[in-house]
Homo-oligomer: A and B are copies of this chain.
């Protein structure tokens, strides 16, 4: 695969980024954007004059491609419309100083919006004439909550009838896709009448469209819209301007603008790759998951793995790393001595085995994902690796290419130690807590760099607050999942729970057999009886079945498509635990109603321990 990251001019609206105008410009330039849409309130609050902003943008290599927004141009009150034209003319003064010739005019959302399409076209034409005299152009956009014009087809009809060279269309993916508007008529729009294209993704939300737009927009590839199909339709219609991002998002408004800008440019890179069918489609398997533990936690971790049927299979020649294996599952246990806390544990890395490790790494690099710096000793494998936004290191390896085989630096041990196979055959998913400011960036990372797809988006209550969950899964046959579980609101001071839990969910074909055969001291989490009483009432299960899973501390859920049986271990050190999962039939997602029970049980276990 190849990425052609410079195929389109890429720009970003200043409103997408946190900080003062200068913070935003520096961030956009640093991330490699070609230009910006200047959001008027950012200019109004700036201590720099328009001429100074122009100069600053030139220094930074940024074009100003659009001035926005101009609201409520048309009016049923003719005198008001004349005043609006004067207002527009004053904005042209500012634009001339800035050196930008395109202004966004959005459809009127107030009481005096013109409903008559010919009158609206006439007013747009009058504005176009004014613009032409000033050497300016107008991109007219249908707001999803416009009063008389709220569909792109209506805005096009107004532009078509205005029939003026200085009046064209602005298409905004949010306003169009939030209304589920059809795009088929776009083929009839001349490409050169599409003056501007604004891109934003969004999650599905059952709410007022204005609030949805102003608080929850996302960069392309982070939400639920099909931006590839949308952009392809606009490009097919002949649009040749920039791909520009306009995202209003409560979290991005608070996040480091440099980091957000890099995420933003990545979203356009992934969109371009999607347009070129260049995103990863290769298969991969999970070669290993690496667990980092402190010396304090090593025994606990080894005991848990051993109790779950893992056995040491290889030892690193120079580092304190041991591979624990069962069937095709390998957990690397790395002892670290520089952890922040004595009891730190973490899912440090995931290794993906693929035919083309360097291809994956090149995709990541093309998407502005930072490669991880590595210290490689002579003779050691130099494995390409990148940092996922959630803090996990992602390695690309290949068992079929000696120089990219992670086992190259390990002494493989005799398999004599493999005594207690518990039938754990694969990893169903790994769950990590994405940092609050990087949650959506994490979704984009797994989708774009690894080609994973969303299986389930949900919220569930925990004892210390609501949790949002986004489960991504690799295509079959790997089917490997990554679940991003994080607080819906950033945590406050009252959060006695584990704030950033992580876990690995192992698959088995027979959880009852697997749990039944575990040694007596396996650190399986005790599930309270109340859960089983409720379960039986809810799902009308037999006494025999409920008794069996109750004795083994197995949780259970049933959907129309299948069943999900699972059990947990205690938390090892600061934040890591294991799950054992049996999926029956075609159960999709995870039984999130069980999560609060698991969390409360972990709290109870921790408190009981604290009493000793």
Chain A residues at the B interface, C-beta cutoff of 8 Å: 18-21, 23, 40-41, 43-50, 83, 86-87, 90-91, 93-94, 206-208, 210-211, 215, 250-251, 253-257, 436-437, 461, 463-466, 487-496, 526, 528-531, 533-534, 536-538, 540, 596-597, 599-601, 603-604
Contacts and interface: CB of A to CB of B under 8 A. Distances in A.
A534 B44 contact: yes
A42 to B, nearest CB: 9
B87 A492 contact: no
A591 to B, nearest CB: 13
A250 B91 CA distance: 42
Contact of A47 (B20, B48, B496, B604): B604
A250 B465 contact: yes
A215 to B, nearest CB: 8
Given A20-B463, A492-B436, A538-B87, A528 B597 contact: no
A326 to B, nearest CB: 31
B90 A533 contact: yes
A300 to B, nearest CB: 22
A491 B254 CA distance: 7
Contacts of A47: 526, 528, 600-601, 604
Contacts of A43: 530, 534
Contacts of A93: 533
Contact of A90 (B489, B491, B494, B536): B536
A463 B19 contact: yes
B45 A531 contact: yes
Given A18-B465, A461-B41, A530 B49 contact: yes
A315 to B, nearest CB: 39
A596 B41 contact: yes
Given A41-B596, A489-B490, 5 more contacts: A18-B463, A40-B534, A46-B530, A83-B540, A250-B489
Nearest to A86: B540
A600 B48 CA distance: 11
Contacts of A254: 464-465, 487, 489, 491-492, 494-495
In this complex, the member of A436, A533, A538 whose beta carbon has the largest number of chain B beta carbons within 10 angstroms is A533
A18 B600 CA distance: 12
A213 to B, nearest CB: 12
B489 A596 contact: no
B494 A255 contact: yes
14 contacts: A19-B464, A46-B530, A47-B528, A47-B604, A86-B540, A91-B537, A250-B466, A253-B461, A254-B464, A254-B465, A254-B495, A437-B492, A489-B489, A490-B492
Nearest to A210: B206
Nearest to A215: B466
A257 B496 CA distance: 12
A490 B437 CA distance: 11
Given A86-B540, A207-B207, A597-B45, A256 B531 contact: no
Nearest to A257: B494
A529 B597 contact: no
A538 B600 CA distance: 56
A207 B213 CA distance: 13
Contacts of A20: 463, 600, 603-604
A494 B18 contact: yes
Nearest to A599: B45
Across the A-B interface, the 5 shortest Cβ-Cβ residue pairs: A45-B600, A90-B537, A254-B465, A256-B494, A206-B208
A21 B607 CA distance: 14
Contacts of A603: 20
Contacts of A466: 215, 250, 253
